[in-house]
Structure 1
Amino acid sequence: QNQLLHEVDEAKNAGPDVTQEQTTKIIQLNERLTYSSASLAEATELLDTLGKDTVELKQALLSISGDITQDVLNVDVVRSIVRQWFKKVKNMTMDNGPNIIFKLTMLIIILFIAKMLSNGARKLTRKTVTRSSLNFSVLLQDFFITLVGQAVFILGILVALSQLGIELAPLLTGFGVAGIIIGFALQDTLSNFASGMMILIYRPFDVGDLIEAAAVKGKVSHMSLVSTTIKTLDNQRLIIPNNKIWGDTINNITVEPNRRVDMIFRIGYKDDIDKAEEILTSVTMSHPKVLKDPEPKIRLSNLNLSSVDFIVYPWATSDDYWDVFWDITKSVKVEFDKAGISIPYPQQDLHIHQAS
């Protein structure tokens, strides 16, 4: 058996230059091994019939042929095989133990150094992007920090694997082939990845912005290259794929420092228009959070079916938008009630004519 394994290894090393003599020798050795195994099996059966101890013979037969037979149920055979395996492992450990321990130690040290360098690269990148004159968004800053940190750590893993004697070229080639296969299988994920890159480059919003996109309205709390996390106004957390956001209209509500507060107030046709306009102007201009520039706009805008409509357009900071909206709405109702000005509701007049 050992001769056969040796000749097979020699033939493999020769490759296409293997000689006819080597091939013939391998065939002959294989035939001799087969014949010897058959003879040993017959002899073992005869000895079993005579009640002799055949444990070592069965062990040798199992190791040569590799066939799993009922002999594996024999406790003595299994014990002998296991003992032989442990002996081989022990010898291998004794022969190569120091080298294995050294390589494992180097692996741990390299991975530890790679982790430290990765953390240092993250900190350095964070300082660079936050102080950069390019005015990177928070989303783009997080992307660069994560990318640099992971790239350094992956490089450390490759160095560690090379110290174990692993060939990196076939490994990287295998990763490339696997990447192509995975790319076809994860087309939707790659679409989200591409959309995430477009969002990072064009920066339609940033962390903390109030946006409305993909039929969702809320504040951006986090973003990755695959999805964006939005916290709604009623404190729900929604994770939306990036291709849904990039493929829809994005309304960044708080990107501008100031916003116009659009309100409409209706009075009845019998009410005093000038008095109503005076109240609206007074309430709007006296509010402390209404901006003086741009100047608020108050106009009679429409003669509706059952009401006279006024538009009130004050300006406020984005943070004060709802305070101005709610305060002015409440104050106008109170002042209208004091002045006897009605706020009509839709109504229809029905006229009945009787035939004479």
Structure 2
Amino acid sequence: MNIDALWELVQYKGSVIALNLAYALIILVVGLWLAKWLRSLITKALTRANADPLLVKFGTNVAYAALVVFVALAAIGKLGIQTTSFVAVIGAAGLAIGLALQGSLSNFAAGVLVIIFRPYKIGDYIEGGGVAGTVIDVQIFTTELKTGDNRKIIVPNSKMTSGAITNVSAFETRRVDLVASVSYDDDIDTVRRLLEEVVAADPRVLPEPATNIRMNALNDSTVDWIVRPWVKAGDYWSVYWEMTEAIKRRFDAEGITIPFPQRDVHLYHHDRPADSTTTP
């Protein structure tokens, strides 16, 4: 083969490779754009169907990841690489990587369990995985929470499902647990009446279930009363703080004593006995 023929062959092969590379790049760019568009379309469709936001977030994330893999394989196939053998290589590599990333796979499985059993959803305030906050997103591997002081906490899904989960927002109503301590000298009937009046004056307290007001404990220096009204879940903390203040103000106005721990110390003076011996 002379030099001219070799040069023509190089030019031909180069043009073919360049063309395939351009096609692969177009497939990759357009495919990724279509994947994002389809993710947005699926999100809108599920939202219009009133699907659970947790299902929408998790489902669209999984669908997007699958579409990206499909686009990548299509682009690789356009470069002339046999995708069947490539998939086999990916499968073998995936097995090795899977063994090394067992934690990530367990997080994915835990995310699927969250979708199936729904122990919490977007917007719920939960306690789990050693943290507490409002659920703002559920990813393939993690759950994202927002704390009361506006911090984001990212918790692995496996950690969330490996222990107890307290869903504070699961029900529409909550019970506020307050403790009012008075002295032993205060009249029992008066204390009960004042606590009942404080509860009755708050319009956020629900009539049912009825508020429980009882003497609860006889301590060393205090008599403890429990005050347990039921409120809507969204009113919990405002009622907790404001009713605590209202009880204190009402007790002060009526002369009810809120004792604090104190100790009486008695000092005894002993006269030193006279020394009977005489020092020379």
Q: Same fold (TM over 0.5)?
A: yes
Q: For 2:177 and 2:44, locate their aligned partners in 1 and report how far apart those are by CA, in whole Å.
A: 42
Per the alignment, residue 19 of structure 2 pairs with: 102
With CA pairs under 8 Å and 6+ residues apart, which has the higher RCO, 1 or 2? Answer: 2
1:268·1:343 contact (CA, 8 Å) conserved in 2?
yes
Residue 240 (structure 1) aligned with residue 176 (structure 2):
no
Per the alignment, residue 118 of structure 1 pairs with: 35
Q: For 2:35 and 2:151, locate their aligned partners in 1 and report how far apart those are by CA, in whole Å.
A: 34
Q: For 1:294 and 1:344, locate their aligned partners in 2 and report how far apart those are by CA, in whole Å.
A: 31
Report SS of the residue matched to 2:94. helix
Q: For 1:196 and 1:350, locate their aligned partners in 2 and report how far apart those are by CA, in whole Å.
A: 61
Greater displacement, 271-280 / 227-236: 227-236
Q: For 1:111 and 1:188, locate their aligned partners in 2 and report how far apart those are by CA, in whole Å.
A: 30
> 256, 262, 274: which one pairs with 1:341?
256
Greater displacement, 282-291 / 333-342: 282-291
User: What's the CA shift for 1:149?
Assistant: 2.6
1:121·1:152 contact (CA, 8 Å) conserved in 2?
no
Cα deviations by residue, 1:301-342 (Å, 9 ceiling, x for unpaired):
333332222111111112211110111111111111111111
Q: For 2:71 and 2:104, locate their aligned partners in 1 and report how far apart those are by CA, in whole Å.
A: 27
Larger Rg over CA atoms: 1
Report SS of the residue matched to 1:207. coil
Residue 130 (structure 1) aligned with residue 47 (structure 2):
yes
Q: TM-score, normalised by structure 2?
A: 0.84
Per the alignment, residue 8 of structure 1 pairs with: none
Q: TM-score, normalised by structure 1?
A: 0.68
Q: For 1:128 and 1:269, locate their aligned partners in 2 and report how far apart those are by CA, in whole Å.
A: 65
1:211·1:252 contact (CA, 8 Å) conserved in 2?
yes
Distance 1:231 1:123, change over 3 A: closer
Q: For 1:197 and 1:290, locate their aligned partners in 2 and report how far apart those are by CA, in whole Å.
A: 39
Q: For 1:189 and 1:311, locate their aligned partners in 2 and report how far apart those are by CA, in whole Å.
A: 47
Moved over 4 A (4+): 87-93, 347-353
Structure 2 residue runs without a partner (length 5+): 269-280
Per the alignment, residue 250 of structure 1 pairs with: 165
Cα deviations by residue, 1:221-266 (Å, 9 ceiling, x for unpaired):
3322222222222333322222222111111112211111011111
Distance 1:340 1:173, change over 3 A: same
User: What's the CA shift for 1:130?
Assistant: 2.2
Structure 1 residue runs without a partner (length 5+): 3-83
Residue 154 (structure 1) aligned with residue 31 (structure 2):
no
Per the alignment, residue 278 of structure 1 pairs with: 193
- Flag the structure with higher helix content: 1
Residue 298 (structure 1) aligned with residue 213 (structure 2):
yes
User: What's the CA shift for 1:88?
Assistant: 11
> 287, 311, 322: which one pairs with 2:202?
287
Distance 1:352 1:233, change over 3 A: same
RMSD, matched Cα: 2.8
